[in-house]
Amino acid sequence: MTEHTISDASALSGWRKSSYSGNEAGSCIEVLDGHPSGVPVRDSKIPHGPALLFPPDGWSSFVAAVKAGEFPA
């Protein structure tokens, strides 16, 4: 079974804030590019917490859907 989480996201370096995150302090997600097992995503308020690990194709589909407005607020 493939692992879908990284228990301590702070063990990885190179996190970047999502361009779709708000400007409010602590109200954003961060993603990590180039991870060999997929696309890690974490809550920036909890850098030592877990990160979810998405398959690259699934993450690309999700980002495309967000850009297309398929998730109304």
Domain boundaries, the chain: 5-67
**What Rg do the C-alpha atoms of the chain give, in angstroms?**
12
pTM of the model: 0.80
DSSP per residue over 25-54, as a string? TT--EEE-TT-TTSEEEEETT-TTS-EEEE
Give pLDDT tens digits for 45-71.
899 999 999 999 999 999 899 889 998
- Residue 54: how many CB atoms within 10 A of its CB? 20
* Residue-wise pLDDT tens digits, 29-38: 899 999 999 9
- How many other CB atoms sit within 10 Å of the CB of residue 59? 17
Could you read off the pLDDT of 12-31 as tens digits, one per residue?
999 998 776 666 666 688 99
